[in-house]
Amino acid sequence: MDRDTTIFWFRRDLRLQDNAGLYHALKENKSVLPLFIFDTAILDKLEDKYDKRVEFIHLSLKLLKDELEQIGSSLLVSYGNPVEIFNQFRPKAVYTNHDYEPYALQRDEVVGLTLAKKNILLKSFKDQVIFEKVEVVKDDGKPYTIFTPYSRKWKATLNKFFFKAYSTEKYFHHFKKIPPLPWPALKQLGFESTSFAFPDRVIKASIIQHYDKQRNFPAIQGTTRLSVHLRFGTVSIRKLVQIALKKNEVWLNELIWRDFYHMILWNFPYVADKAFKPAYDNIVWRNDPQEFNAWCEGRTGYPIVDAGMRELNTTGFMHNRVRMIVASFLTKHLLIDWRWGEAYFAEKLLDFDLAANNGGWQWAAGCGCDAAPYFRVFNPYIQTDKFDPKREYIMKWVPELDTKEYPKPIVEHSFARDRVLKVYKEALGS
């Protein structure tokens, strides 16, 4: 690689349009080579060789590569340890976008030091959120820990500068002109194709328009299914905020929750494996492996819970209302550590994002910032009557519901509620 070439390192931003780091790389350099690294530190931890997320990344990169080849460039795809890979290169500079997860921060620090030894600059930009780190804080400079005041300040701080698109297209002629580069098959990465039909990269304005009225009903297409695209950056958060501002404030709030959880992870990194409220680490969990397996497999005898888990296991998706119900059930009804559920979701969710997944689980367990109070125990029957009254969602995933094959409830609701309140009270000393 010649010293005139600048690398743009794709990670959670798999698009050419409205990409902050890519915009700066192209604007400030005359020869930019796009790079993606299949990071073995991440891939080696994935036990399921049919992992849909790896396939989604692989398909998204192929679209990216095709797009680049139409303008006379290509995409360099590497496989291995990022530090070792960057040791092989001597580019002019490396540009990328921020990642906020603990492993990513550690990786980027080591990559930055590795490049610095060769006098190569690593430049990183904000791209996957609107506000990051300490951009939205209380008047005393401390981070918010309650969503509602955070969202008010977020909205008050917002102006067009923060959601204006980066016009990368103006500088596409600065991509390095090269013939098509080799393309690895999934098998070469150690994974197999599932031929799964991923959610379209289509922003459905009609769904956003009615989101506040339809979002809680899992039997209907009331949510956008864009979360996997947001997770891997195949759509721009700025574009979605532009639409949300015009179409639906409730949907905008969902995007703000995403910023909020990223801000929490950045300012309170211990939440990755500990309760945000330390007293909740005193809870004596039952952690019954058989009951956990029944929950994982959708065999709890609570139809709405089982439907949600079966949908997750089959599709990698679970409706947000149902996510709350199944998480509450695991932590409150079965008294199983929220970290067990968080880890299972991390394995299965197409849109798995550490900050949001952790925030959601701690919310459900009552131990997070701005969490549901510990004495709030979702009643799955009431939740079903409210949000799946005709049992359409349940019957789709639990067709054997009214037969002998369907198991009896794993625990009685009133008993479970009394038990969890007693255990939580003892742990919290109240």
At a CB cut-off of 8 Å and minimum separation 6, what does 152 contact? none
Residue 430: its pLDDT value, please? 60
More confident residue, 374 or 367: 367
What domains, with CATH codes, occur in the chain?
1-126 (3.40.50.620), 128-164+199-267 (1.25.40.80), 271-428 (1.10.579.10)
Instruction: For residue range 63-89, list pLDDT tens digits in order.
Output: 999 999 999 999 999 999 999 999 999
Annotated catalytic residue 257: yes
Work out the angle at residue 256's Cα, subtended by the Cα atoms of residues 253 and 260, and round it to the nearest 5 degrees.
Answer: 135
What is residue 111's predicted lDDT score, i.e. its pLDDT? 97
338 is catalytic: yes
At 249-282, the pLDDT tens digits run: 999 999 999 999 999 999 999 999 999 999 999 9
Mean pLDDT of all residues belonging to the chain: 96
pTM: 0.95
Q: Taking Cα atoms as reference points, which of 331, 334, 347 lies closest to residue 288?
A: 334
- Please confirm, yes or no, whether 397 is among the known catalytic residues: no
Q: Which listed residue (9, 154, 251, 257) is catalytic?
A: 257
Q: Per residue in 107-129, pLDDT tens?
A: 999 999 999 999 999 999 999 99
Question: Could you give phi then psi for residue 381, rounded to 5 degrees?
Answer: -70, -45
Q: Which residue bears the tokens 């849109």? A: 351
Given the structure tokens 């932590």, which residue do they identify? 331
Is there a catalytic annotation at residue 320? Answer: yes
Confidence tier at 373 by pLDDT (50, 70, 90): confident
Alpha carbon distance 79, 191 (integer Å): 13
Active site residue 267: no
DSSP designation for 331? I
pLDDT at residue number 2: 79
Quick one: pLDDT at residue 374?
Answer: 78
Q: Which position among 154, 251, 338, 363 bears the catalytic label?
A: 338
Could you say which of 9, 361, 363, 397 is catalytic? 361
> Which of 87, 313, 320, 379 does the annotation list as catalytic?
320
Residue count of the chain: 430
Share of the chain above pLDDT 70, in %: 99
Please give the distance of CA 37 from its chain centroid, rounded to a whole number.
19
* Interval 279-323: pLDDT, tens: 999 999 999 999 999 999 999 999 999 999 999 999 999 999 999
The structure tokens 């300490």 sit at 134
**pLDDT, position 376:** 86
Q: Can you tell me the distance from the alpha carbon of 120 to that of 376, in angstroms, rounded to the nearest whole number?
A: 53
Look at residue 370 in the predicted model and tell me its pLDDT: 78
What is the token pair recorded at 126? 């904000």
- What is the edge-to-edge ordering of all strands in the sheet holding 6-10? 76-80, 32-39, 6-10, 93-97, 121-125
pLDDT score, position 394: 98
Instruction: Choose, from 135, 192, 254, 347, the residue flagged as catalytic.
Output: 254
pLDDT digits (tens, 9 = 90+) for 176-216: 999 999 999 999 999 999 989 999 999 999 999 999 999 99
pLDDT, position 400: 98
Q: Which of 285, 313, 347, 379 is catalytic?
A: 285
